[in-house]
Amino acid sequence: MCDERVASRGVRLYLKRDDLIHPDLPGNKWRKLKYNLEAARKQGMSTLLTFGGAYSNHIRATAAAGHYFGFDTIGIIRGEEHIPLNNSLVYATNHGMRLSYMDRERYREKTDPSIVANLRECFGDFYLIPEGGSNVLAVKGCRELVDEIDIEFDIICCPCGTGGTLAGISTALHPGQRALGFSALKKGMFLVNEVARLQRQSLDTVLDNWSIETEFHFGGFARHTPQLEEFAASFTKLHGLILDWVYVAKMMYGIFSLVERGVFTSGKNIVAVITG
């Protein structure tokens, strides 16, 4: 893409349009689910259960995956039920997902074996997909993204919510290339441990070719400010691309800010992953 704000600094910025993979299963959502669906099928499972907030894109994508690939789906939603349902949850239920709600205190312990056992008592057997879809199989799926890029680049950027996309991208980089994640969450430094955990599980080691920016969260998950809205509107006007302000707009704002500060120096080629 050509934008004077980065071109004037001698930086080339390219967009990896992963959002165009599928209208209902865009970008990293599909990449994270791909091998999990394959594993569920091999294990003979007919039901997928996963977790997410009321506005979770992962909940939407899991519901869509169940619809298209013949799985029943259950979404465990953080917090209390609110009627009427928001658009994300309406979408999920319209695609066959059964919703259940978990109070925030229990939700923080959702991976505890006793809570998972209680869920199995309630819903029967299921294939468990973690919140955000991030696990070893998600890392495998997100790794494939890099091989689809046919230009030379120095830095690849992606939004971060649970760390799976960044963990996977990092594993496919060549020497000298780096991956930079942009946390969409306030106090996002915990994501460093999450990416490291996923890489240990996948590779038995933690790579040193990635890092996470935590400055550009704009108040936290699913929050935004007039400053971010103005940036996203100007980007759309210039380039005709509507940025998802939960994740992608924050990343793009961060990239432009770092270019302006000189963090990305002249001559660098940057790829920004539009996850959708």
pLDDT tens-digit series, residues 261-272: 999 999 999 999
pTM value is 0.93
Q: What pLDDT is recorded for position 221?
A: 84
Contact 167, 142 (CB under 8 A): yes
Q: What pLDDT is recorded for position 243?
A: 95
148 with 265, same domain?
yes
Q: What pLDDT is recorded for position 27?
A: 83
181 with 94, same domain?
no
Is residue 35 domain-resident? Answer: no
148 with 72, same domain?
no
141 with 257, same domain?
yes
263 with 173, same domain?
yes
144 with 248, same domain?
yes
Q: What pLDDT is recorded for position 26?
A: 85
What confidence tens digit (pLDDT) does each residue in 129-173 have?
A: 999 999 999 999 999 999 999 999 999 999 999 999 999 999 999
pLDDT band for position 2 (cuts 50, 70, 90) = confident
For residues 59-79, average pLDDT: 97
Contact 155, 264 (CB under 8 A): yes
What confidence tens digit (pLDDT) does each residue in 73-117 have?
A: 999 999 999 999 999 999 999 999 999 999 999 999 999 999 999
Q: What pLDDT is recorded for position 202?
A: 97
Is residue 28 domain-resident? Answer: no
Q: Find the domain containing 245 and state its range.
A: 4-23+135-273
- Any long-range contacts for 32-35 (C-beta under 8 Å, 24+ apart)? 32/58, 32/132, 32/133, 32/134, 32/137, 32/138, 32/141, 32/142, 32/164, 32/165, 33/61, 33/62, 33/65, 33/129, 33/133, 33/138, 33/141, 34/137, 34/141, 35/137, 35/138, 35/140, 35/141
What confidence tens digit (pLDDT) does each residue in 119-129 have?
A: 999 999 999 99
110 with 151, same domain?
no
What confidence tens digit (pLDDT) does each residue in 204-256 have?
A: 999 999 999 999 999 998 888 999 999 999 999 999 999 998 899 999 999 99
> What total number of domains does the chain contain?
2
- Name the domain boundary from 104, 125, 146: 125
Q: What pLDDT is recorded for position 93?
A: 98
pLDDT above 90: residue 276? no
149 with 167, same domain?
yes
